[in-house]
Structure 1
């Protein structure tokens, strides 16, 4: 499956490191040495190798939520290559926490952590003060809160001390900062990683006995796999999302 290979290809196989990918949908995964059957049924588990098992969860509602918000509330932005850039620039006009506006981003049948196709989306806290920028940014923050919930579920398996992020959404600095602040762990953007394709090649290299360890295999193919760009988080962002979590918005 491309999920476990994505962890391998982005350098997210060390114990306590989670790989978080985000495009139209999203996922968070970590690697443990043995199978894990979640007693609460919130996380999946499948094999990478005999002694490396991927545990995590996937969300259906990722970048698609923000594109929907753009179609609904920012139709003045012309379609084209720069549409996403302009849409997220509009979102940046709103402050972290969106002045109390929160989005429950369940526009599509949701998977982890609740696996409930009947969940429905909503904006909560909407007032006359909120603008189109607030509505779009609330989508970004709502998705990030769902991904952070999976990270906290993974803490039950093994404490997550760091997160490596990858995927098309993270070409945006706003997405990077919001996810890093909401997850509230040291976060690195694996910008140069080839993800699942590199992971597949690395797994083959390891299976052929040409790499001393699974972790070393992708680095032998591409030394930049172990690198990444730390994502800075401002005090204002950290405080805003800490407040959201304290008020229960970090849970479904």
Structure 2
């Protein structure tokens, strides 16, 4: 009998349910969207019931449209948005809307923790800086501003953990999402008593920690009726979306590295121990693969910067694309071909929304530097791709101080562009591998995690059988040499303007 794996990827804009055969073939997928409430400048919340509705809708639609017998689904597993805070009662019902990863309200709570522990000491326990992005600071905010909600809170959960609780009635989180709570001992894979004490949080309000491959339980009768799944179907925890993508991109052994180019972008590798950067420019996640870590650097605006450029100065290209039924990026890419390495002297700083890695500067701004009368629109277009890539190359260089990285898998919507992939190969000075499926790494990673969890697969090495490399971009030696001084100038431009950005913000 053919067996299937159902993977749910709970993102910020919606849930994507994807069905895979046990040999890794993508059978089909279905998406159900939900909304985010953005308010008070830096607040961002979602209704967890919308997550559950999306999982119910996509599970039913997928199995019904593909005529799949629910009894043939061997396991359900998850990839989910990270660094959130959803307070639930003993029955697993939400007590308020979820405070999601993008929310930055907990600045006072960050300062409370800083009274007891330095950023560097915090970083060496958790693998991350103490910032308002993480779960423990958000729970502290609930305690300080909504004490009645805090008192009623039985557990605080992330998105996938809430769905697991709805399916099984159990309250767990895996190590990768636990890491995103900001109170996780990265070395010992347990909650950090020290940070929990400094935060003043009741540790009983945190879910039990388990490996990503842990079978949380079977689908209950009530959940089966809501989702169309078979009662008793095993439910595997899975992991946070940024880490399950590591599996889907083949980053499952030391030095295996990938770059995800979406609206934001990141470079992640795999290592047998955390990578601690002296300047705390990169972070380290607990990997979903036992015994591994996922050192990472994520920037704010990558494909988002290219999309901004398209919508602001490429109106002609948009118009031509509408007339001819093509993509504006086709016309933009044609102009990139006419611009040389270094974009005829233009440097673009891609900090339209401030920056996380490697700058950690919320006040940084975007900028075109070095414009001259002879510059063309093609130079500006190329400079955006170069600026994003040079920013990511700083992350890669940090990881290379401790690992040999000779090739890199590229995934995400931004990886569709042939020119951008070659620019990456030249700036990174490494081979860039392009898989046949660019945008299913998170779902594929969740599926493999589920398959390992229920014994369909011996270990995570099975992913190597599922990834098919369509093309490889090799560095051009002349371009590699030409980019070296330009990368230094890129860095100089940021530091020259750092104080100016701060003044502009004030």
Q: Normalising by the residue count of structure 1, what TM-score does the alignment of the two structures yield? A: 0.89
In structure 1, which of residues 191, 198, 205 is the aligned counterpart of residue 444 of structure 2?
A: 198
Query: 2:374 aligned with 1:129, yes or no?
Result: yes
Query: 2:312 aligned with 1:106, yes or no?
Result: no
Match of 1:55 in 2: 295
Shift of 1:3: 1.4
In structure 2, which of residues 393, 399, 406 is the aligned counterpart of residue 154 of structure 1?
A: 399
Match of 1:209 in 2: 455
Residues in 2 aligned to 1:65 and 1:236: alpha-carbon distance in whole angstroms: 27
Residues in 1 aligned to 2:473 and 2:484: alpha-carbon distance in whole angstroms: 17
Shift of 1:235: 4.1
Please list, as runs of the form range in 1=range in 2, the aligned pairs for 1:89-104 lying within 5 A after superposition.
Answer: 89-104=334-349
Shift of 1:148: 0.8
Please list, as runs of the form range in 1=range in 2, the aligned pairs for 1:1-252 lying within 5 A after superposition.
Answer: 1-47=240-286, 48-78=288-318, 80=322, 82-192=327-437, 194-214=440-460, 216-219=461-464, 223-225=465-467, 227-245=469-487, 247-249=488-490, 252=494
Give deviations 1:182-232, integer Å, cap 9, x for gaps. Answer: 111122112335311110011112223333332x1324xxx3416342113
Residues in 1 aligned to 2:482 and 2:273: alpha-carbon distance in whole angstroms: 37
User: What SS does structure 1 have at the residue aligned with 2:467?
Assistant: helix
Shift of 1:153: 1.1
Residues in 2 aligned to 1:236 and 1:186: alpha-carbon distance in whole angstroms: 15
Question: Which 10-residue stretch deviates more, 181-190 or 31-40?
Answer: 31-40
RMSD: 2.0
Contact 1:105 1:143 in 2 (8 A): yes
User: What SS does structure 2 have at the residue aligned with 1:200?
Assistant: helix
Residues in 2 aligned to 1:178 and 1:250: alpha-carbon distance in whole angstroms: 18
Question: More strand by proportion, 1 or 2?
Answer: 2
Match of 2:109 in 1: none
User: What SS does structure 1 have at the residue aligned with 2:315?
Assistant: coil
User: What SS does structure 1 have at the residue aligned with 2:270?
Assistant: strand
Contact 1:149 1:250 in 2 (8 A): no
Stretches of structure 2 that go unaligned for 5 or more consecutive residues are 1-239, 495-506
Change (3 A) 1:243 1:36: closer
Change (3 A) 1:233 1:155: closer
Residues in 2 aligned to 1:65 and 1:191: alpha-carbon distance in whole angstroms: 25
Shift of 1:122: 1.6
Shift of 1:250: 5.3
User: What SS does structure 2 have at the residue aligned with 1:142?
Assistant: helix
Residues in 2 aligned to 1:12 and 1:228: alpha-carbon distance in whole angstroms: 17
Shift of 1:137: 0.8
Contact 1:12 1:19 in 2 (8 A): yes
Give deviations 1:154-202, integer Å, cap 9, x for gaps. Answer: 1233232221111111111111101111111122112335311110011
User: What SS does structure 2 have at the residue aligned with 1:31?
Assistant: coil
Residues in 2 aligned to 1:11 and 1:67: alpha-carbon distance in whole angstroms: 28
Shift of 1:57: 0.9
Alignment size in residue pairs? 247
Shift of 1:71: 2.7
> Which one has the largest radius of gyration?
2
